Structure 1
């Protein structure tokens, strides 16, 4: 095998959406940056998560929207064409070809190293290329770990070749019968998508509701909608046995006793595929972290600069799923912008301007990075209590900031404001029988919005206004002067303020 020795200012492990953004931002003051990726540039989001899953979900959304409007509904005479949906999904996922992503990366002046990296010492790695090349790579300034996460598959399913989100979003076959194990974002979205495509879907949830991280009414709305479309949603379950028998998977499912019944109930369920969506864990197993005094398999604990704690020298950073702080592409890219700017400023290779300690990115100095306060571009402050999340089920669910329970656990006195979207003029224009709900969690002492949850068709596009309110800590008295356009769903902000007596 050929051996090569390379040296760069910054080395980024992982070329997904997070790693790409880190590398781009870190290079903006002239630092040389290499990105190490063993698979496809663009990562999970582009090929097995955000993009293909939304391509699977979109046809059902469009069809439901048309059927909800008299006049348009009469034009809908057929059903979803699964084959055509999968063809379009392939196009959205670029046919799992990263040529375009590689062109962007290299066009930005970044170096791509195809292979797997392992630490051998601080700022030193060995990269085993897919072509057999072994590179010794040294980072003069910083290394950023952006390797993402991998699905957690319980041992019960070890021998049945279950689907994870990867297999589900890239399949070219719609299974007649599908069991979905889990009740979170991946489980509910893919249950929705495959029900639209014609699968007989059963959702097996360990807990007592769907979308446990959201307000309870959100998960209840999604469960009702799935049930109305013929999906079985079984709460309080555990799969005690899973056996693959030819083209079928046989499951033994135990359900906790419900009111009026005694003892657990056991059900035998036969399906064509089982999708395990029970969570993900940081992809840190095979990075050689033990050489740095860190434990493989664990999340990398970071501060708000995204600098890994427990490693001296200020050279090791991490961003995205691998930190355990965030589990969405958009929040991971936010973290990537922060850490990229920190590195660009801290290690700015350009000479300091006369009378200045250093120019840093966009005229900001190294000193500015070192002294940056929360909510500056050098601190990932939003990770604490301003994280937005969208679930593209039908109805959609979108929330940002604290839920009611989280605010109470934080010891805050809160007021809850809620409004049914169906009462708005914009709702009657949007769809016949529009149903949805918005809820705000308000800090009584400061009179600012701590969190917001939206449930209903197309509410994802309403979330950013709430995100701005949460991040900006805008007083409700000032929000009264943010006049919503009529007739739109955003009029709900006025109704909520009226309910609060503002």
Structure 2
């Protein structure tokens, strides 16, 4: 075999995070030779700096909060969390930032791993610069898939680099709790990391530029989470921007636009994400470096016959589970197109169409209380032109909620399409609601008629009885 032949594959995947791994799994299952290029750890952001470590930090926090609401148990869990044990458990879930197991899995499916920085070098060509500086060019017979994810964005503040701010990576991998932590942002990362570090011993000040937290969910979600953070001891300030940040010795000094001066040991900026396409060679195929990649529902980049993009980089839904969903569809689409006579099912909800990206994206925010949603919020449904009505239920009225936690606080909303009599969106906020959201996802994706949902009887006494309360509220409105 010549060197040129050894560098030729049916599919080349740029990025070995969960999304890239799923593309490789599906293309290999279809019998296509697949190369995967990764410049960091195989397993990607989710495994080492996002989903897994953040949830390992948050699980003890939420479990303790739940236990404190159970009569007969609350006195047993009044002390502080064992921060060192929590951090050690987090380290275990990141495999101490070693990717041996992930590499073994990737090689086990028959994909070939190339370590180094990959960038496009023209049509169907990927140049890989290895850690030792050597370069080789891979060619793809059928497809190149960009699965390079996104990176945290820092604001343009003078001298910020000298402050050494945290991003989501430092927040999920820190080996000790800072005494004082300022968190800047109002989204999921900000809310989750404020929850985790406040419970692990930090005094948290949360600075939110907007009106409240979790602005992409129903307004009551952010209100309930902010209220719980305040009750836990965090200082939550909305309508507040950062004017300047400096580090004086070991102290971070933050000045807000209102003139307030806040001192801290660390500062976390959770203020958005940008695509990791800066040095990807997009210009060699007529695209703009550093840009998000626009794709059709089969994951193919607009204007290309061979270039695909999945996960964060496509800017559809910056969530691991949604990226893996896209990856399964893209893998199947590439295989069908490679077969020559393969017929693609790209109709809505077809096998090669990522329809859920538009209509049924589920998400859980692992705060205390948890916030979970799927589909459209009331405002989104109205902007989309649907004639809808929202029905709300106080979760404390559900028998199972009261048994789950003494003094249970939470809220549920169902957005109903009045013309089609189906559910367009659902939001739950309260302890334990993350496990409810898949039932809502099935209702939204399946476009289950309201008349049929009446026959989906929830078990008593569980929190899922909220479904009956929501249907009753809709009927009686």
Asked if these proteins are the same fold (TM beyond 0.5), I'd say yes
Counterpart in the other structure of 1:482: 456
- Once the two structures are overlaid, the 10-residue window that deviates more, 24-33 or 181-190, is 24-33
**Candidates 421, 437, 458, aligned match of 1:447:** 421
Q: Secondary structure at the match of 2:10?
A: strand
Q: Which runs of 5+ in 2 are unaligned?
A: none
**So what's the TM-score if we normalise by structure 2?**
0.97
Assess if the C-alpha contact under 8 Å between 1:106 and 1:112 holds in 2: yes
Q: Secondary structure at the match of 1:121?
A: coil
- Asked if 1:178 is matched to 2:178, the reply is no
Query: Could you tell me how far apart the structure 1 residues matched to 2:190 and 2:103 are?
Result: 31
Which digits, 9 at most, give the CA deviation of each residue in 1:268-322, with x for residues without a partner?
A: 11110000000101111001000111001110000001000033xx110000000
Assess if the C-alpha contact under 8 Å between 1:206 and 1:238 holds in 2: yes
**Candidates 387, 390, 395, aligned match of 1:416:** 390
**So what's the TM-score if we normalise by structure 1?**
0.92
Deviation at 1:71, TM superposition (A): 1.0
Counterpart in the other structure of 1:401: 375
Counterpart in the other structure of 2:59: 58
Assess if the C-alpha contact under 8 Å between 2:145 and 2:307 holds in 1: yes
Deviation at 1:131, TM superposition (A): 3.0
Counterpart in the other structure of 1:473: 447
**Candidates 324, 343, 355, aligned match of 1:381:** 355
Query: Could you tell me how far apart the structure 1 residues matched to 2:310 and 2:383 are?
Result: 27
Assess if the C-alpha contact under 8 Å between 1:179 and 1:274 holds in 2: yes
Deviation at 1:485, TM superposition (A): 0.4
Query: Could you tell me how far apart the structure 2 residues matched to 1:133 and 1:150 are?
Result: 26
**Candidates 226, 232, 236, aligned match of 1:229:** 232
Deviation at 1:77, TM superposition (A): 4.8
**Candidates 321, 329, 336, aligned match of 2:320:** 329
Counterpart in the other structure of 1:462: 436
Deviation at 1:421, TM superposition (A): 1.0
Assess if the C-alpha contact under 8 Å between 1:27 and 1:344 holds in 2: no
Q: Secondary structure at the match of 2:390?
A: strand
Counterpart in the other structure of 1:317: 308
Q: Secondary structure at the match of 2:475?
A: coil
Counterpart in the other structure of 1:307: 300
Query: Could you tell me how far apart the structure 2 residues matched to 1:129 and 1:342 are?
Result: 30
Q: Secondary structure at the match of 2:163?
A: coil
- Asked if 1:215 is matched to 2:208, the reply is no
Query: Could you tell me how far apart the structure 1 residues matched to 2:114 and 2:313 are?
Result: 20
Flag as ranges the 4+ runs of structure 1 deviating above 6 A.
none
Assess if the C-alpha contact under 8 Å between 1:28 and 1:344 holds in 2: no
Query: Could you tell me how far apart the structure 1 residues matched to 2:402 and 2:237 are?
Result: 33
Deviation at 1:75, TM superposition (A): 2.5
Q: Secondary structure at the match of 1:153?
A: coil
Correspondence list, 1:245-284, <5 A: 245-254=248-257, 265-284=258-277
Which digits, 9 at most, give the CA deviation of each residue in 1:137-166, with x for residues without a partner?
A: 111110000000000001213331100010
Q: Which runs of 5+ in 1 are unaligned?
A: 255-264, 349-356, 359-365
Deviation at 1:427, TM superposition (A): 1.1
Counterpart in the other structure of 1:169: 172
Which digits, 9 at most, give the CA deviation of each residue in 1:193-239, with x for residues without a partner?
A: 00000100000111111101000000000010000011011111111
| Aligned residues between the structures | 471
Calculate the aligned-residue CA RMSD, in Å. Answer: 1.2
Q: 1:154 to 1:389 in 2, by over 3 A?
A: same
Query: Could you tell me how far apart the structure 2 residues matched to 1:136 and 1:413 are?
Result: 54
Counterpart in the other structure of 1:354: none
Query: Could you tell me how far apart the structure 1 residues matched to 2:249 and 2:462 are?
Result: 53
Q: Secondary structure at the match of 1:34?
A: strand
Query: Could you tell me how far apart the structure 2 residues matched to 1:148 and 1:303 are?
Result: 18
Query: Could you tell me how far apart the structure 1 residues matched to 2:362 and 2:173 are?
Result: 26
Assess if the C-alpha contact under 8 Å between 1:12 and 1:146 holds in 2: yes
Assess if the C-alpha contact under 8 Å between 2:298 and 2:346 holds in 1: no
Query: Could you tell me how far apart the structure 2 residues matched to 1:386 and 1:466 are?
Result: 9
Deviation at 1:180, TM superposition (A): 0.3
Counterpart in the other structure of 1:47: 48
